[in-house]
Amino acid sequence: MRADAIQGPAHVWFLRKLLAAMGHPPIRVKLWTGDVLGGPEDAPSIRVGDPGASARLVLDPELAVGDLYVEGRLDIEGDLAAFLSAAFRGRSDVGLALRLLPRRLIERALDTDLGTATRNAQHHYDVGNAFYELWLDERMVYTCAYFPRPEASLEEAQIAKLDHVCRKLALRPGERVVEAGCGWGALALHMARFYGVQVRAFNVSHEQILYAREQAEKGGLSDRVEFVEDDYRNISGRYDAFVSVGMLEHVGLEHYDTLGRLIERSLEPAGRGFLHTIGRSRRQRLNRWIHQRVFPNAHPPTLGEMMRILEPRDLAVLDVENLRLHYRLTAWHWLRRFERELPRIEAMVGRERARTWHFYLAGTVASFETASMCLYQVLFTRATNDAIPWSRAHVYTGEPAQFGEV
């Protein structure tokens, strides 16, 4: 039995059931038959191109929307991010729809039709620096920016973010910093250049490390920043600051205890630590399309879950900031740039991979828009360390931090 065994008017019936299971989100579904289901006329719409696509939507909507979009068998009319935001405001546990059909039927139907989608998922990140250069800021910062004003440019906001992190850590010249997961090296270079610290920055990506080293060379910073091509778990030595921006969401909960121990043994008695991560305000499993097609094993933690890293080690939280609206705006900038460069991107990585990325970036905007995701910056230190900034005023005045010893 094939997925398109669900035929004719049955499609309409099943799709109506699906929309109901989602709590009737404000979206429309337009079928190849001319049928139109769902929300009001001005609601964002998807166009479903064929019976097989419709069947997969009903059987496993969470995966199928993304997969069918990538395959070009489903299209969104108008703004992709707006459609996804509208859809996300519906119930996310639409796996419910599956209960409408016997399990064996579902499994066999999905089995026959999902080969292509799975192949698409291969090597999502295997795209090279040139690809990211087309839509990231000039420093290649692929994490949430900090917009001093919403009107700031992405370039300004990424620099402001680097400063925001350095100020929170209250870095002082001569201090030693270790960075876990340094991407293309922008933060490490910024810390060394403007805060006079010595940095060791870890990353497992060969291509990113080469890029970062080249930047250090160009900037005359090679003696102050060491880029280490290695897993963060091999960090050794003691530092005045431990910093990790955009790595924790790829570290599974089962590794939090190990990470906590690593941080604890890496910090000097007066050392400060900083974790910047995509997170959740409540426990929730990751969307399956993101999980299976984009970020295998990613887990955006709640703040409570993050405490499993710190509390067992008596590391005290000093400051938490939630930058959800800043990530929404950051992702919006990325998406806008991506869409502007779409023809070049398709030529570079092929149509399917371009559509995967497009869907993913639009989904990111929608996730922060609908608050399914947020962004935590957590500053901490050993609980007994009194050599900490007396207040957070220096983060906003830009003046040197006044330290806590009274």
Residues that bind a second copy (CB under 8 A): 146-150, 281-283, 302-304, 307-308, 310-322, 324-325, 329, 370-371, 374, 376, 383-384, 386, 388, 390-393, 395-397, 402, 404, 406
Q: How far, in Å, CA of 6 to CA of 20, rounded?
A: 18
CB 184 within 8 A of CB 140: yes
- The least CB distance from residue 302 to a second copy, in Å, is 5
Q: Which is nearer to a second copy, 45 or 385 (CB)?
A: 385
Nearer to a second copy, 69 or 332 (CB): 332
CB of 54 or CB of 381, closer to a second copy: 381
> Closest approach of Cβ 348 to a second copy, in Å?
31
Q: Which is nearer to a second copy, 162 or 197 (CB)?
A: 162
As a whole number of angstroms, the distance between CA 232 and CA 390 comes to: 31
Q: Which is nearer to a second copy, 28 or 333 (CB)?
A: 333
Question: Could you tell me the smallest distance in angstroms from the CB atom of residue 367 to a second copy?
Answer: 12
Q: Closest separation between CB of residue 256 and a second copy, Å?
A: 12
Minimum distance of a second copy from residue 135's CB (angstroms): 20
Instruction: Describe the crossing of helices 51-59 and 103-113 by its angle, rounded to 10 degrees.
Output: 130
Q: State in angstroms the smallest separation of the CB of 150 from a second copy.
A: 5
Q: Which of 379, 288, 331, 317 is nearest to 154 (CA)?
A: 331
Q: Which is nearer to a second copy, 119 or 282 (CB)?
A: 282
Select 74 or 159, whichever has its Cβ closest to a second copy.
159
- Minimum CB separation of residue 311 from a second copy in Å reads 5
- Under a CB-based contact definition with an 8 Å cutoff, are residues 274 and 165 in contact? yes
We find the least distance from the C-beta atom of residue 307 to a second copy, in angstroms, to be 3
Q: Which phi and psi angles does 85 have, rounded to 5°?
A: -60, -45
CA angle at 236 for the pair 264 and 383, rounded to the nearest 5°: 15
**Dihedral sign computed on CA atoms, order 273, 278, 280, 283:** negative
- Exposure string of 158-197, with b = 16+ CB inside 10 Å and e = fewer, is bbbbbbbbbbbbbbeeebebbbbbbbbbbbbbbbbbebeb
What is the DSSP secondary structure assignment for residue 287, as one 8-state letter?
P
**Phi (first) and psi of residue 29, to 5 degrees:** -120, 120
- What is the Cα–Cα distance from 91 to 193, expressed in whole angstroms? 47
Under 8 Å between Cβ of 186 and 243: no
Helices (H), 219-284: 256-266
Quick one: 55 or 145, whose CB is closer to a second copy? 145
